[in-house]
Amino acid sequence: MGTEQKWTAADVPAQHGRTAVVTGASSGLGLETAAALARSGAHVVLAVRDPDRGAAAAARITAEVPTAELTVQPLDLSSLASVRDAAKELHDRCDRVDLLINNAGVMWTDEIRTVDGHELQFATNHLGHFALTGRLLDLLQEAPEARVVTVSSYLHRLGRIDLDDLDAERRYSRYRAYAQSKLANLMFALELQRRLQESGSSVRSVAAHPGLAGTGLGRDFPAALRLAGPVFAPLFLQSAYDGMLPTLRAATDPGVRGGEFYGPQGRTETRGAPGLVRAGRAARDAGTRRRLWEASEQLTDVLYPL
């Protein structure tokens, strides 16, 4: 595609016969991604923590796409037992998974420990997706051209992987914990691609970020930020639909290669048409990527055959 031509959802090839699992599909970017994939003919599994919200999301998609093939799959990424159960149910339901979209996330939450004792943002955004992908790897390997798309953030550039305190037990900052989790998302996507390639797998791992998009992600922000949001947000934000396009492109553009990172092409990557973007310096540190992978295997008890 020429550089002058903007990639849009109209460029998505037909997805009939393919199964896509989208985490956090009950709202925001996940709902937009699920809807776009359903429009293209994919069977979409809406992997959601609240089945009622999942059913409402499915109803919204069906209202627009009456032929949509949708399944609501309960999944709480902050609980490793829930991830294990969801993966088991997906094995019962699906012969293969063509697309896994690791999208769900929380941002800037209060200091909260999960049922497994992990810091909530690291657990939900990174560990849950690490465990889910590992548990679905055999279903992905069954598909001829499977992809895993992991949603990071431009804020990964502010992140630092604290291998001595991944769960922020010594000192908690909501901002640092989010940035670390989004750096972990990007490092996971890159390290997964390296391991897939080395093992000769045809599965591709790609990363994406939405820029700044108007979604429900601010629900855990401190009160002052929540109050200021409606005043300033329209100046900076793109729509959830536009914010989802880098993910959609990473998932469906035939030209995408493993290890690539897609985001908005605007000058500050906050908005714009989806295209290739550069990973920050920390994400390119291969040694830390490997150590984060090993720590994630230990913390989740999910060992990849890669």
Ligand X SMILES: NC(=O)c1ccc[n+]([C@@H]2O[C@H](COP(=O)([O-])OP(=O)(O)OC[C@H]3O[C@@H](n4cnc5c(N)ncnc54)[C@H](OP(=O)(O)O)[C@@H]3O)[C@@H](O)[C@H]2O)c1
Rule CB under 6 A: which of 120-179 touch ligand X? 124-125, 151, 153
The Cα–Cα gap between 42 and 97 comes to: 11
Cβ of residue 175: shortest distance to ligand X, in angstroms? 13
Of 77 and 250, the one with the shorter C-beta distance to ligand X is 77
Q: Which residues on adjacent β-strands are paired with residue 264?
A: 274
Asked if 150 and 205 touch (Cβ cutoff 8 Å), the reply is yes
Token representation of residue 228: 């200021």
Asked if 30 and 243 touch (Cβ cutoff 8 Å), the reply is no
Asked if 212 touches ligand X (CB under 6 A), the answer is yes
State which of residues 9, 12, 15, 26 lies at the interface with ligand X (CB under 6 A). Answer: 26
Of 82 and 201, the one with the shorter C-beta distance to ligand X is 82
Binding mask 27-66 for ligand X (x = CB under 6 A): xxxx------------------xx--x-------------
State which of residues 210, 258, 263, 280 lies at the interface with ligand X (CB under 6 A). Answer: 210
The Cα–Cα gap between 66 and 127 comes to: 35
Asked if 31 and 213 touch (Cβ cutoff 8 Å), the reply is no
State which of residues 13, 117, 216, 305 lies at the interface with ligand X (CB under 6 A). Answer: 216
The Cα–Cα gap between 113 and 58 comes to: 30
Of 155 and 203, the one with the shorter C-beta distance to ligand X is 155
- Tell me which amino acid residue 83 is: V
Asked if 245 touches ligand X (CB under 6 A), the answer is no
The Cα–Cα gap between 270 and 238 comes to: 8
State which of residues 7, 15, 24, 204 lies at the interface with ligand X (CB under 6 A). Answer: 24
Asked if 121 and 271 touch (Cβ cutoff 8 Å), the reply is no
Q: Report helix, strand or coil for 257.
A: coil
Classify burial at 305, counting beta carbons within 10 Å of its beta carbon; exposed 0-12, middle 13-18, buried 19 or more: exposed
Rule CB under 6 A: which of 78-97 touch ligand X? 78
Of 73 and 201, the one with the shorter C-beta distance to ligand X is 73
Q: Report helix, strand or coil for 43.
A: strand
Of 182 and 201, the one with the shorter C-beta distance to ligand X is 182
State which of residues 76, 167, 253, 260 lies at the interface with ligand X (CB under 6 A). Answer: 76
State which of residues 73, 180, 193, 215 lies at the interface with ligand X (CB under 6 A). Answer: 215
Of 37 and 201, the one with the shorter C-beta distance to ligand X is 37
Quote the strand ranges of the chain, DSSP E. Answer: 19-23, 43-48, 69-74, 99-102, 147-151, 204-208, 261-264, 274-276
Asked if 298 and 304 touch (Cβ cutoff 8 Å), the reply is no
State which of residues 34, 87, 106, 207 lies at the interface with ligand X (CB under 6 A). Answer: 106
Active site residues: 178
Contact region with ligand X (CB under 6 A), list: 19-27, 84-92, 250-258, 280-288: 19-27
List of residues contacting ligand X (CB under 6 A): 23-24, 26-30, 49-50, 53, 75-78, 103-107, 124-125, 151, 153, 209-210, 212-213, 215-217, 243
